[in-house]
């Protein structure tokens, strides 16, 4: 039996840009109100003056031509980069927002856990919100009462049950919201990345609960950036990219393609103003697989365009998903490192894989001329995830960046 069917689904948003003197201007509400007053004043003083202050509209398609079908009891992971359209899709399936084109068919009672703040009335207590959500799902009061104690015990909010949820912390809110969504016997459960708010113990508790209820024939849609969690729960994955379906297949195939597509990034040209060197990064690539325990190999391709210069450092930084730096290296002590001749350069950096704990990371990179401005990193990011837990080797501690694992003699290689 089909639980969810999506046909030619599209979601369009209209973005307004205010154009003033040939440039697009983005402003806050306060700025917009102030600007309206200035315009009225200027019009009264100069009623026949020309104002180039038109508002132009841009169409942004968060979802385009999305088609898929999910059978009853399927466990499907929805994955993709930030801005791919995952949350928009779940909001449409949860009937929070309407599609622009296409249609969806849902057979079954839907319970959804999206971003913090949805689903509960802030002025009502935790107790009242439990009964409210059950009523919205079409359950009778007696049915809700039969599940009430189990919900409260799972959420661990007994002391605050008669407190308005607006006074809850984000962790308490999510615990209660998940407990309600998972225990009120939905036929389709939709869970967004909101579980990242909870602590590790509660996340594991939620994942185990989702495994249990999915084994009872409940259809599950699960959005997460954590590939390990998706693999543990789901048997199928849909990858969204720029609002379109990139892959719809088995979980192992989809995750492999997703990580591979995310490991190489074409970069925009940028020029450093803090030195006399014009540099264009061409590509940055994570070459080898991230599922084994070999060292990570990062490949950098860049072009020196104007003139040769010495004493510039290629800097590489790895940060975790909280933007905390966990690794730093540069080519200061590499004999070929700080000579930037005109032409294209291709180099690789080997990063000991075992110095990273399991989790998600992103790579920052850039050039720095010591003694001048701090290193400038382009905004492009390459994300990767370490899945296995292995013993961490000892590394040199750096007193200048206490939180960072610093390699004074990293392994650099020239490829051209």
pLDDT of residue 273: 40
Q: Are 55 and 19 in contact (CB under 8 A)?
A: yes
The continuous run of DSSP H or E covering 181 comes out as helix 170-183
Confidence of residue 238 (pLDDT cuts 50, 70, 90): very high
Q: Last residue of some domain: 261, 277, 296?
A: 261
Pick the last residue of a domain from 228, 261, 294. Answer: 261
Asked whether residue 347 falls in the same domain as residue 366, the answer is yes
Strand-pair partners of 273: none
Average pLDDT, rounded, for the chain: 75
Q: Count of domains in the chain? A: 2
What SS3 class is residue 360?
Answer: strand
What secondary structure does DSSP assign to 273-321, as a single string? TTSS--EEEEEEEE-S-SSSSSPEEEEEEEEE-S--EES-EEEEEEEET
Question: pLDDT at position 309, please?
Answer: 62
Q: Which domain holds residue 158?
A: 60-261
232 and 270 co-located in one domain = no
Burial 5-29 (b: 16+ CB within 10 A, else e): ebeebbbeeeeeeeeeeeeeeeeee
70 vs 59, more confident: 70
| 245 and 283 belong to one structural domain | no
Q: For residue range 182-204, what is the model confidence (pLDDT) as tens digits?
A: 887 788 988 887 665 566 777 77
List, for residues 389-416, the tens digit of each pLDDT value: 333 333 333 334 444 454 545 567 777 6
Q: pTM of the predicted model, to two decimals? A: 0.60
> Is residue 90 domain-shared with residue 167, that is, in the same domain?
yes
Across the range 72-80, mean pLDDT stands at 91
Q: Within this chain, do residues 281 and 148 fall inside the same structural domain, yes or no?
A: no
The model's pLDDT over 125-148, given as tens digits with 9 standing for 90+, comes to 999 999 988 887 777 888 889 989
Identify the pLDDT of residue 17. 59
In sequence order, which residues have a C-beta less than 8 Å from that of residue 125 and are 6 or more positions away? 161, 162, 163, 164, 165
Q: Which of 261, 279, 313 is the last residue of a domain?
A: 261
- Give 258-301 pLDDT, tens digit per residue: 766 655 544 433 444 444 456 777 777 777 654 445 677 888 88
pLDDT bin (cut points 50, 70, 90) of residue 43 is: low
pLDDT of residue 272: 41
Q: How many Å is the maximal CA-CA distance in the chain? A: 79
Asked, for residue 300, whether it belongs to a domain, the answer is yes
Residue 225: phi and psi, rounded to 5, are: -85, -10
Give the pLDDT of residue 170: 79
């Amino acid at each position: 039996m089909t639980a969810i069917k999506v046909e030619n689904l599209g979601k369009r948003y209209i973005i307004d840009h205010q154009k003033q003197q040939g440039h697009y201007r983005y402003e806050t509400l306060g700025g917009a109100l102030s600007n309206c007053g200035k315009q009225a004043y200027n019009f009264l003083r100069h009623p026949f003056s020309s104002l180039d202050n038109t508002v132009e509209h841009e169409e942004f398609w968060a979802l385009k031509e999305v088609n898929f079908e999910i059978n009853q009891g399927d466990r499907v992971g929805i994955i993709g980069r930030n801005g791919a359209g995952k949350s928009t899709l779940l909001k449409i399936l949860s009937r929070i927002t309407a599609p622009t084109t296409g249609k969806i068919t849902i057979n079954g009672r839907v319970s959804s856990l999206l971003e913090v703040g949805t689903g509960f009335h802030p002025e009502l207590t935790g107790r009242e919100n439990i009964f409210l959500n059950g009523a919205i799902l079409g359950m009778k009061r007696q049915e809700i009462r039969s599940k009430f104690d189990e919900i409260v015990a799972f959420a661990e909010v007994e002391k605050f049950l008669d407190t308005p949820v607006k006074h809850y912390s984000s962790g308490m809110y999510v615990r209660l919201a998940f407990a309600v969504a998972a225990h009120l016997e939905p036929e389709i459960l939709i869970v967004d990345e909101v579980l990242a708010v909870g602590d590790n113990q509660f996340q594991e508790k939620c994942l185990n609960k989702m495994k249990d209820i999915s084994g009872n024939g409940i259809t599950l849609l699960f959005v997460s950036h954590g590939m390990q969690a998706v693999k543990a729960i789901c048997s199928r994955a849909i990858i969204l990219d720029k609002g379109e379906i990139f892959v719809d297949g088995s979980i192992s195939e989809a995750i492999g393609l997703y990580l591979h597509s995310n490991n190489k990034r074409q970069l925009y040209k940028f020029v450093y103003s803090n030195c006399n060197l014009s540099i264009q990064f061409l590509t940055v690539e994570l070459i080898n697989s991230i599922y084994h325990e070999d060292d990570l190999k990062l490949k950098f391709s860049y072009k020196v365009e104007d003139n040769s210069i010495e004493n510039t450092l290629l800097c590489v930084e790895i940060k975790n998903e909280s933007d905390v730096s966990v690794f730093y290296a540069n080519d200061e002590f590499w004999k070929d490192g700080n000579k930037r001749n005109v032409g294209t350069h291709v180099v690789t950096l080997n990063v000991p894989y075992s110095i990273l704990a399991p989790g998600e990371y992103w790579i920052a990179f850039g050039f720095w001329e010591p003694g001048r401005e701090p290193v400038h990193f382009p905004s492009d990011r390459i994300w990767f995830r370490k899945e296995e837990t292995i013993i961490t080797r000892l590394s040199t501690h750096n007193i200048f960046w206490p939180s960072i694992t610093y390699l004074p003699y990293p392994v650099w290689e020239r490829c051209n």
